Amino acid sequence: MIKSKVLRLESSGNEIGEVLEEAEKFAKDIGLSERESRRLRLMVEDTMSMIEAVTGEIDLHLSFIERDAGYMIHLETDTFMNLQKREELLSLSKSGKNESAVGIMGKIREAFEMTFLMPNLLAGQEWATAASPAMLMGMPGDIGTGGASDYINTVYWSLSKYRSSIDTDLTDEEVKEAAWDELEKSIIGNLADDVKVGISDNHVVVDVYVDKK
């Protein structure tokens, strides 16, 4: 298994050049085609845009990891945060306002932020339905604690589950059509096979899964 070096980022997203350079090196190391390398670059740019929109200043670590089926973009940060940031996120979750969650990357970003609010942040504990990022954000289809993933002990939000929930949980045809349209217009929504947001020990994790075509 090939893994890139781990890049330390700030949520300002200013390190895009360094990340793209490492992505290009990783693509060569695992033998991606030129077309697949371009797809990786597009997803990196989309991911960095999401990082830039994260509330407040957070130190993050990003790496690229080879998998049997393909590769993943692995993003993580410590679950510890200052009181002010926790209060800001808690206020957002209680108000039910998610106007800033525009597009799929907006939803992923808010799931990432809301995961900080999980009680005690202990992987494997059974949370009440209303405590999940999906429900806090008013999104269809709560996956609860989900299941173990490659680098995530407890999954709280998954793009694949969100996709399947559109047809099963949404009854209004206009809302359903808008949700699919949102997915089709998203780079990550189109190119990634899955995105999982969850907890790994004392880290909040976002993993973007891509299978080799």
Residues 6+ apart with CB under 8 A from 197: 108, 111, 112, 115, 133, 155, 156, 157, 158, 204, 205, 206
Encoded tokens for 82: 């200052």
User: According to the model, what pLDDT value does residue 57 have?
Assistant: 64
Residues of the chain with pLDDT under 50: 96-100, 119-146
User: According to the model, what pLDDT value does residue 67 have?
Assistant: 92
User: According to the model, what pLDDT value does residue 107 have?
Assistant: 82
What distances in angstroms separate CA 96 from CA 107, 129, 192, one per listed residue? 13, 15, 28
User: According to the model, what pLDDT value does residue 13 have?
Assistant: 58
User: According to the model, what pLDDT value does residue 128 have?
Assistant: 37
User: According to the model, what pLDDT value does residue 29 have?
Assistant: 95
User: According to the model, what pLDDT value does residue 98 have?
Assistant: 43
Residues 6+ apart with CB under 8 A from 6: 61, 62, 63
What distances in angstroms separate CA 81 from CA 2, 15, 176, one per listed residue? 31, 22, 36
